[in-house]
Structure formats: structure tokens, C-alpha cells
Structure 1
Amino acid sequence: MLKSTLEAFSDNLFSDKNGQARQTAIAGTVELSNLIPPTVSYESRGNVLLIGEQETITALAPQFSALNSVTLLVTEKATERTGEKAGTAANGDNMYFSDQVAVKGYLGAFEVTCRSDANLAKIAIGRDCFDLVVDMTAEGVVTTEIPAPGYYGVGAGKAKLANVIEDLPAMLGTFDKPKYFRLNPDICAHSSRGVSGCDRCVDACPAGALSSNGHAIEINPYLCQGVGTCATACPTEAISYALPDPDNTQHFVHRLLKRYLQEGGEKPTLLLFGNRDEQSVANALSTLPSTVIPVALEELATVGIDTWFSALAYGAHQVLLATNTAYIPATIDRVLTDELAIAQNFLTELGYEAERIALFDLASAESFKAFDAALLPIAVSSAERIEGTKREKLFAVLELLYHAAEEKPERSDVPENAPYGSVECQSNDCTLCMGCVAVCPTRALHAIGERPGLLFIEEDCVQCGMCEKACPEKVIALKPGLNWNKASRQEARVVYEEAAACCTSCGKPFAPASMVKMLTEKLQGHSQFQGDAIRRLAMCEDCRVRDVFSKIEDDPESQLRV
């Protein structure tokens, strides 16, 4: 797509050195491609439901006569009993009435219920669900910003009637759709051991495809529309975009910029855009300077802060996220705005221009002005590509920018809900129960091991808040921010430690001394810890078991005495 977009202009408009370097770089760089992705299948039998005012949907019904069945659901105030057939209209329409309607599902599997929770498909066509829904109501029965396949919100402006009339008769059969995401629950920061944490991905989905079952994140692949905001918002890469994955996108950007610079190109600006904006980008390229290098993505929000900063490290003077800003769905706009706020905060804290990474309205192409200088020397930008997780790549670039910056802060505040920061512990009240360690999804908090103590690695903390909620003593608190000192940020810092209690039998250190003392004081009056039993609290787990069985062997009848 990149090649075809530029070829139309290359002969006349972009014959300068930068234009030729760009054309050579794009032509000589293997394009991003999707290699046989996993898919999900929809099956439609052509049973369509029209929802809206009686006059509107009655007039529309003949347009879909080629489909298997057409059912009309009138949403005006019903006079008949909800869920019962209101009589067949003169033109033979299969018509029902209800002023309260709920629709959920996707192509081939739409469940439609009315006020009395009656299954309308069962009543109207003898099936469990409808295959297609055309919604002519002004507000729309389905309120998600990006509706599921097979739902056409014409009345709410989410679909054009002319397109629906043309396309719907072909919506019979089996249809495959890519599975856009990968999910690794082992590194998810949403929940652990009944403690809730991060829910950024759920809030970031405009299609309603993500939900929590109370223990884990669930993704409905039939509702997922591949927008990618969930992967961009996820701080641990538990959710990653798959078509292609961001790592391949960054490798492509590295090769593209490196080739552009090798061909003598200067002052490159990277223009990221979603496929849906291809025509707008093509129109804008005739106005933008030839130093602007377009990169097409499946969706604009499929890559985030790590990709943007990697592009700056590879030599881009600026990274533009190009779209028609007036038409961005609210959720996508919010996710991009939040991610941009974090990126621009990092830049300004180091004394760089915030607009080095910016949202770009394609309608403003004529007023675009490029940055003359790169943030990093060419020797750095032409180096090998940056590897690692998305957090590792981001911190690697931030470290490069930090060393090149005139301003070198020690620590910076971050925008609200940013997944960067530290934790504070009121150590005097900490019992080293390790409840925080048990729920930490990244091992930012972990045990010392050879002695009672708690370690913390700031760079790994995603501020999910599970440690704070899991602490029974309520002595842990989150501290958002970014520590610019790499050594300090990456070191395993001691949060709290204390002397170990040594087993009174074998001498092995086995628990914090304060915990043994506290348990002894609390349990000494308990009936099960009278006499010699109380001394087992000062033993390690192995000696404690041996002591119990030794007593049973010496006095078997003791087990009968309660």
C-alpha cells in the first residue's frame, strides 16, 4: 500500500533528493504483512431484523426480500402485550411491537429480547437468534462505539443506508475474520488471588469485546474489531496486537528509516496512519514535504509509546499520528490522548519539544512544518534495532534521550494512570507476610530469599495497585513517577528487612523474628497451643512436622484428647 500510494506522485511531485530517497526506501523495504493469521468464523443464514418506527421499517423491508427472512420490530409505544405478535400487516410483514429492546451478539448470533425477556427470534422465526440487525432508531439499541459485525446502526449514523441495502443481500454463508490479538494471562496485571488491579484494556475497548470475569480478562474474538487500543493500553504486554505485532512494526520502521538515510534522505518525519485513512493520506502527500515518510497500520492505535520513541531513536525528527481527528471514536481518542500525554511529558521533562510526537490532523497538511534537527546523532539512529519487551525498548530510548538532553531531572511526575512509578512502605508496621509479593504480576516486588526481606525494582512496576490492596497491614502505597537514574531504577532495592528467627530445633532461619513473636503472643492463650505446643511456633516447617509426629509416636492416645 505504501508503494502504490506514493507511485502516483513520484514522477512529478517528488523528484528531489528526499523524494527519491523515500521512494527507494519504501520500494526496497519489505512491507508489513499478515501471514495466515488465526481466524474466527461467522455463519449467517440471512435472517434479518429491522428495528425502528413502523412507517420507516415497513418501507425498508422490501429492499431485503432476497434474504431468508425479514422480521420487523416496531419500537413505538406498543398497545399489544410485549413479545406477542401484533398481527400481520397488510403487506405480509412479520411485525412485532416493543418499546424496550435489548440486542447482544454478532453476525449470525444476535440475541434480541423485549420487555418481558422474551426471545424474539424464537417467537418470530423459530430460531435462537437473528443473523443480521438493521437498527433505524435514532439513538441506537446497541451503544458501543464500534458495533459488532452484522449490526448496522443506520439511525444512529453508524452505517449508511445505501451501503446496507447494497451489501446486506450478500451476507449469507460463512465468513472468516482475523483474530487480532494474543493474550498471555500469566503476565496480566488485572487480578491475582482475588485481588483486583489493572483494567486499562477493558476501559480502552470501543467494541465492548473485553470484560472481566472477576478473576481474569476475557476477550470475545467475535466482537473484537482489531482497533488495538487494548494492546496499546496494556502495560505488561499480556495483550498484544497480532496483525502484525508491534515488534515487527518497529523492525520495519528501523529498516525503512535506515534505508532512507543511507539513500541521502534528510530530516525524516514518520507519518503513521490507519488503513481507513489511506485516501486522505494520499491526498495530503501532495501537500506535505517529501521528507514525510508514510507508514500504514491496520489501525492507528495498534502501536503506542514504545514504537513512537523507537522511531525517534532510529532517526525520525518527528512522529505524527495522522488521522481525520474529527472522526475518531471517543474511546480511541482518549487512549491516544492518554498515551500521547505520557510521551509528551517525557519529552518536555528532558527539555525537548512536545510536538516531536503528536496527533496530526490530515486536514491541516498545508500548514505542516518539519523539525530541522534530530533528537539523537545519526551515529545512534543508524545503529542496530532496539530489542526487548515494549517497556525495555521504551526505557532504552529514554536512556539515550536522557544522555543527549541538556536538562537532566532526577525524577518526574507522570500523567494520571500512567504505568510508571514506585511504591512506599511504612516499614515499622510491615510484618513481611509477602502478600504483596504473591500478587505482583511483574516481580517488581519479590522476596530477598536468604533472609526475611522485601525487594523492589522500580522499572518493572506498572502501578497496578494489587500490592496496595493485598497488604493486610495497609502499609504499602503507590508513588507514580519516573526515576531517570537508570542504575537506581533497575536495582533491586531493599524495601524492608529484619532479623530472622532461627529454628529452636535445627537452627535454620525460617521467618521474621517479629512475626514469630507476634504469633506467640496472640496464640499463647489458645487451647491448641498449650504446654509444649506453643514452642512449635519457634520451629521451622520441617522440625514442626517432625515434632508433631514424634509426640504421636510417644503418646498415640493424645490424638483422642481434644
Structure 2
Amino acid sequence: MPTLICDCNRTMPLQKNDLGTAIGEDITLHSTLCRRETGAFQSAIRSGQEVLVACTQERRLFSELAAQTEGAISPLRFVNIRETAGWSADAVRATPKIAALIAAARLPDFEPVATVAFQSSGRLLILGALDAAERAAALFGDGFDITLFATGPGNAGGMQERRYPVLAGRIESLQGWLGAFQLAWQSDNAISLDLCTRCNACVQACPEGAIGLDYQIDMAQCKAHRACVKACAVAGAIDFQRPSHLHGEQFDLVLDLRGAAASPTFNQHAPPQGYLRWDGNDLAALLALRDLVGEFEKPRFVDYDQKLCAHSRNGTVGCRACIDICSAEAISSDTKRQRVELNPHLCVGCGACSTVCPTGAMAFRTPGLAEQGLRLRTVLARYGAAGGRDPVLVLHSQVRGQALVDELGRAAQVGIAQGLPARCIPMPLWHSASTGLELWLSALCFGAAQIVIVVTAEDAPQYLDALQQQIDVVEALCVGLGYPAGAMQLLRCKTHTDLDVALQALERSPRAAMEVPARFATTPEKRSTLELALDHLLTQAPGMPTGRTAIELPALGAPLGDIVVNRERCTLCLSCVSACPAGALLDNPQLPQLRFIEKNCVQCGLCERTCPEDAITLHPRLSLLAERSQARVLNESAPYVCIRCHAPFGTLMAIEAMLGKLAGHAMFQGDALQRLKMCSDCRVIDLYSSSNESKVTDL
């Protein structure tokens, strides 16, 4: 793949020979590729090969030029090396980073995923004070079918001309998404807006001033003089005896002018597409809403596998991690079906659900774990091969996070910031919350010295908490295995200056990378990838205290651990075995035993909540013993023998516990209590024999 590199009018100190060696290609270094040297670009795109242009500033110009160039058949790729590497106080040492960024850009595109369809015909609902709603409606042109829902008259009278249908009343609910919003409201006012002519006679006649210019009556002020009824006698729009009705309509788009304090609707951090709460100032947001007419589709960001889900079993709820973190409220619990429900129309693709899911039942697919791992491994391998040392991965979102990186590069170019250090490799993600500890640990194994996650004001508070919890787990693992502290950091940045200060602080206290990088490939399965990373970390661990058998992990966010069983309480009823979604808890068909494979445990808590004797406690940790992957006995008991046929039919502990609880019950006295000591077959035989003996005695 030919790579076209430009030093942007010699503002980047690029070294042609060093850079060519680093990327494995004989290159020509350009200075005005987008201006005087466009001929070189046109020649390259006629080659028939895919072309990589190391410039995103002029992406549009190059794309248009390619479309106008006769014989151009080469697909185009772009990579930013200017703001990310060349514009920095550390740019002279950035050749390995540039090589790494180019290597990532050369990777094949991610596999396409299924899509979710939306259709909007432009039916727009505007909620708010009538005058403000009418002014907002005037900003939308042809192609919109606008309905107003008046929530008050506003600061001035509305337009007398009836330009739009007007609804009013008490909103019961508003839910849905682009193309499928459902509004339900009660028409509980005496004035019918369908009949009202806006003559204002009722406003003038009301002695209490209870009627506003939204033509609705404030019943808290109304004193039942009914002067308005007389004033409206001809039109007949006012009827205090009119019964309240529940109405419903569907809309494609919603513009809400009520403000967050006044509106209980869609107050989640990520509202559905097609809904905009507008303060009257952000015209860009309003223009974006205007563009949502037509047919649209978005990726189905997340796949859900119920078989792996640890949400609920046997009517008991265990893990709620995905539900609690979803900023779009796209995930809900369905305990009847023993699963969670993911609404793809509400999902905004943050990937946070897959980050906190301990089992991998929620799997982010844009891109998937295997593709993300390949990208990180490629970047780190190329960086090392080009002579780079101790790289720092800077993971950031592709929207606001990318903007901060670009702003920092431009600030460095004019001398008001240091810019990205040469060791810091920026890696854009669909969202900053879309990766978790299995990928971070893999990146450390691949050769990253540190990983920092840049979060901004666009990130929901629950994302920050979850990311920090997972970072704490990674730190506990690394430090426990003898690696230096500081493998992970969460950078909360409002401006590019915050990012600059944080990255320069990292430079003052560098952390060394692992000496022997891993060669494994990340898999699509979360737990498999996590185990591969843990195995490599254990193999390369620089030192642990002698005799250490486990690393204690934080109670929050740890997907690894043991369970502790109180043998005095446990009756070996094995309810926990049927509840375990990960196959960590097992019975023994041959003996009354409760067995456990620690490697499989995801610390979901279903066993703890299911246990009727409160005999189970979770213990987050990483076992360092070989038996972690083997079944070990947590509890066992002698079998209970039927007093009639002497066959084993239960455990001694369970039957004795049952006898102790039922001994004083009126229904279990005498023979009835003795039958509890029999197997099921003997119990039926004994009951039948006793019944026949009773009949003989009666005769």
C-alpha cells in the first residue's frame, strides 16, 4: 500500500530515511501535497493499489480530486500524523509513533455488522410554552408536519393565526425513538383547542385571570364564575362538564423547550435519537434535528448471548452491571425470561455494557474484541520494531476526545502547549467506555508501558465510576504480580490544556514496559482473552512474595474470584449449582459434594443470593495456584440412608436439617415424621400400606 507523507509546509521535522525504514517503504517526502504536488497524489491513485494519505486536514480535497482524476481506481485511506505526532515539542523523536499510526491505518476494515433501521417522515412534536413553540416551529421549513403541545402561554401572547395544530393537557408519557415516539396525554381542560378561535373573549371575561394565551384554564385560580362560558357561547369551546380522555399520537421527532428541570422526559444522559431538549441557543443541534427526515440506519453495536448472561436464574437477580451503566436506558430486566432486554433503537453504541459485563454476554461489535486486539498488537509491535521504547496508549473517543487531541496538536504548533509526547500513541475508540480490563491487560502484554483513558464532559458519570473500578482491578493485579504501579490512569479532561498537563506529568514518571511482549491473538470471547492475558502476566511476573497463593482484588468490578462456603450452614441442597451461569459450581453424581472451578467464576453473586442458608460469600481474588482451573471440593457430606430399604437418597446434613425444622409441625408427627427418613419410593409404599391397614382395621 503506497503511503503519501507530507510535512505540511515543513512544519513537521520528518526524516525521510528514518521514516521510510520505520514503515518499511521507500517514500518521497512531500511538503505541499495538497497544493503544488497534487500530481504525485494523482499518479499514486492511478496505480491500482490502495493508497494511504498521511493527512486528514485535506481529506475532502483529496477525495474530490480522486473523483475528478481520470483512471483513478485506487481506494483511499487517511491517517493523521500532524496533530498526533509532527506538531509536538517532542516531534523529532516521534518516528516510531508515526510508523505505528501508519501500521494501524493499513489494517483491513472491520467486518460489517448488522444494522438497525429508522424511518422519519418529518412529523415533529414541539413541547413548550405556546409562543416559544410557535417561534421554534418557524425555524423549520417545508417537509415537516408540526404539532405543538402547549405547556403554558409563555412571556407573550402566541400568534393569533393558527398555523399549527395545538395540543394541551397533562402529559402521561412520552417514549420511543426516531420515527416512533409515542405521546400519551389527558385532555383535562375545559377549553377545546379544536373549537377555540383565539378570539380572546374568554381571556378578557375571566375575572381571576385564570385563562392564559395558551387558551387553557388554571383551575387553581378559577373561582367558578363561568363568565368565560358565556363569552364563548357562540363558539362553544368551553365546557366544564367535558369528561377527561386519554389520547395518544405518534411522532417522528420531538423538540422539547421545557428545560430539564420542568421536563421529566428522557432525562437519561443519552436521550434517544430524534429527541432534542433545546435552550434556544445551540443552532447546530437544531440543524442536526432538521436533518433527521428520511430513512436511516446505524450499526447494531452490541450482541447479547443469553447463555452466558449472569443476570438471573430461578427468579433470582444476580448481575445488573449492564442495566446500571447504560446511559441511554436501552437495557432492561426481564426476569420472567431469565434475561436482559437490549433495545437496539435506543442503544447509542458506547459499549459500556460490554466493558462491565463479567461473562461476555454483552459483546461490543463495532469493532469486536478480536479486531480491537489486532489493532493494538499491530500498533505496539510496529512501534517497538521502529525503535520505540515504553509506549503509552492514549485511548479516547472519536468525537470529543479526538477534538482534544487535535486542539492540543494545534496549540503545540503555535508554542502554547507541549503536545503529545513521542511515547504517547493516541488510539481513537468509538467511545471511551467501549474497552475493558481484558483488552487493557492484553495491551500491557503486547508491550504497552501504560494505558491512559481520556474522558470528557460527554461521558456519563456512571461510565467514569465503572472505568475507575476496572482500572483499580488492573492495578491490583499488576502490583500483586510484582509489576510497577501506574499501569492504568483515567484522565478527566475538559480542555486540551488539561490533557497536555496530564501527559507531561506521565513523562516525568515513566513506567517500563514488559520485557517479553506476548504473541497471542485476542479472541472474540471476553473470558478467553482475559485468561490469555493473565497467563502471560503470570509467566512474565517480575517477582512476588514467596508463598503467596492469591492476589486480593477490589470488591467492586472484579470478574475473578473465589467463593467461601460456611460448611456449618450449607446443607448441600445444590441450589447454587443450578443458579451458576458460568459452570463454576458443580455437583458430583457419585457423592454428595459441592465442587468449584475458580477459573470459571465471574463473581456475579447469583449463588450468594440463591443460597437459602446464607452460606455463601464472594471473595474477589486471583488464585496463583494450578488448582484454579481444576474442580475442588467446597463441601461434602455423608449420604443419608433410607430407614426402610437402606438406599442413599440425600445428604445427612440436608435431611437432618429438614427433620429439625419440621419436628414440631403438627402435620409431621409419628409416622409422617418417619416417612421423611425414607426415599421417595419407600415413602409411597409406606403410605399405601398404612392406608390399607387402616381400612382392614375399620372392617
TM-score, normalised with respect to structure 2: 0.68
Structure 2 letter corresponding to 1:451: L
Partner of 1:82: none
Q: Take 1:524 and 1:98, find their aligned partners in 2: how far apart are those partners? A: 62
Partner of 2:404: 280
Structure with the larger helix share: 1
Q: Deviations over 1:483-503 (max 9, x none)?
A: 442325333221110122467
Q: Deviations over 1:224-258 (max 9, x none)?
A: 00011111111111111011112321122112211
Is 1:316 aligned to 2:448, yes or no?
yes
SS in 1 for 2:393: strand
Partner of 2:436: 304
Instruction: Give 1:298 deviation, angstroms.
Output: 1.1
Partner of 2:71: none
Instruction: Give 1:537 deviation, angstroms.
Output: 5.7
Question: Identity, % of aligned pairs?
Answer: 27
Is 1:426 aligned to 2:566, yes or no?
yes
SS in 2 for 1:152: strand
Partner of 2:464: 333
Does the Cα contact within 8 Å between 2:134 and 2:158 map onto a contact in 1? no
Q: Give 1:80-479 correspondences, 5 Å limit.
A: 89-98=160-169, 100=171, 102-115=173-186, 128-139=249-260, 140=263, 141-155=265-279, 161-215=282-336, 216-276=339-399, 277-285=401-409, 287-323=419-455, 325-350=456-481, 352=483, 354-360=485-491, 361=493, 362-367=496-501, 368=504, 369-370=506-507, 372-377=510-515, 380-385=516-521, 389-398=525-534, 400-401=536-537, 404-408=541-545, 410-416=550-556, 418-479=558-619
Cα 1:229–1:11, aligned 2, differ >3 Å: closer, same or farther? Answer: closer
Q: Take 1:105 and 1:179, find their aligned partners in 2: how far apart are those partners? A: 17
Q: Take 2:248 and 2:675, find their aligned partners in 1: how far apart are those partners? A: 69
Q: Take 1:103 and 1:250, find their aligned partners in 2: how far apart are those partners? A: 41
Count of residue pairs brought into register by the alignment = 536
Structure 2 letter corresponding to 1:64: F
TM-score, normalised with respect to structure 1: 0.83
Is 1:49 aligned to 2:125, yes or no?
yes
Q: Take 2:446 and 2:470, find their aligned partners in 1: how far apart are those partners? A: 20
Q: Take 1:77 and 1:342, find their aligned partners in 2: how far apart are those partners? A: 55
RMSD: 3.8
Instruction: Give 1:270 deviation, angstroms.
Output: 1.0
SS in 1 for 2:132: helix
Q: Take 2:638 and 2:135, find their aligned partners in 1: how far apart are those partners? A: 82
SS in 1 for 2:602: coil
Instruction: Give 1:393 deviation, angstroms.
Output: 3.5
Instruction: Give 1:129 deviation, angstroms.
Output: 0.5
Q: Deviations over 1:160-212 (max 9, x none)?
A: 64124434443222211111110011121111011111111111000010111
SS in 2 for 1:48: strand
SS in 2 for 1:28: helix
Alignment counterpart, residue 491 of structure 1, candidates 630, 637, 649 = 630
Q: Take 1:544 and 1:255, find their aligned partners in 2: how far apart are those partners? A: 68
Cα 1:172–1:372, aligned 2, differ >3 Å: closer, same or farther? Answer: closer
Instruction: Give 1:297 deviation, angstroms.
Output: 1.4
SS in 2 for 1:63: coil
Does the Cα contact within 8 Å between 2:308 and 2:360 map onto a contact in 1? yes
Partner of 2:208: none
Does the Cα contact within 8 Å between 2:451 and 2:489 map onto a contact in 1? yes
SS in 2 for 1:106: coil
Cα 1:388–1:176, aligned 2, differ >3 Å: closer, same or farther? Answer: closer
Q: Take 1:345 and 1:35, find their aligned partners in 2: how far apart are those partners? A: 35
Partner of 1:38: 114
Q: Deviations over 1:332-359 (max 9, x none)?
A: 2222222223323434445655432112
SS in 2 for 1:93: coil
Determine which structure has more spread, i.e. the larger CA radius of gyration.
2
SS in 2 for 1:244: coil
Cα 1:265–1:382, aligned 2, differ >3 Å: closer, same or farther? Answer: farther
Instruction: Give 1:426 deviation, angstroms.
Output: 2.0
Partner of 2:26: none
Q: Take 1:373 and 1:354, find their aligned partners in 2: how far apart are those partners? A: 8
Q: Take 1:193 and 1:464, find their aligned partners in 2: how far apart are those partners? A: 14
Q: Deviations over 1:40-90 (max 9, x none)?
A: 111112110111222222211111241331111222389xxxxxxx99942
Partner of 2:96: 21
Is 1:67 aligned to 2:143, yes or no?
yes
SS in 2 for 1:495: strand
Does the Cα contact within 8 Å between 2:331 and 2:342 map onto a contact in 1? yes
Structure 1 letter corresponding to 2:467: L
SS in 2 for 1:267: coil
Cα 1:454–1:77, aligned 2, differ >3 Å: closer, same or farther? Answer: farther
Q: Deviations over 1:76-116 (max 9, x none)?
A: 389xxxxxxx9994242322334656321101111122356
Cα 1:93–1:504, aligned 2, differ >3 Å: closer, same or farther? Answer: same
Q: Deviations over 1:316-372 (max 9, x none)?
A: 11111124x344222322222222233234344456554321123353343323354
Structure 2 letter corresponding to 1:147: P
